[in-house]
Amino acid sequence: IFLKYAKVELAPPKLSDIPQIKAGIAKLLSSAKSGAWKHQTVKQATLNTLVGAEVIFWFYIGECIGKRH
């Protein structure tokens, strides 16, 4: 089961995904500038915090692996 999801979730983005990624980044930046992040529910803020923690975790794991090689 892990390998099934790992192939999908850990794969690099496809070229067809790039416009959607750019739109998402633009939306993120505009909401950060306008202060829309202040109007999140506690559940949304918690989920966003967990996603941020996951990104930091994977970065840290990558750094640990990279130092060994």
Q: For the chain, 69 residues long, give each residue's pLDDT as a single digit of tens.
A: 888 888 888 888 899 999 999 999 999 899 889 988 889 999 999 999 999 999 999 999 999 998 876
What are the DSSP calls for 23-67, one per residue?
HHHHHHHHHHHHTGGGG--HHHHHHHHHHHHHHHHHHHHHHHHHH
Place of tokens 């633009």: 26
Kindly report whether the global pTM for this prediction surpasses the value 0.75: no
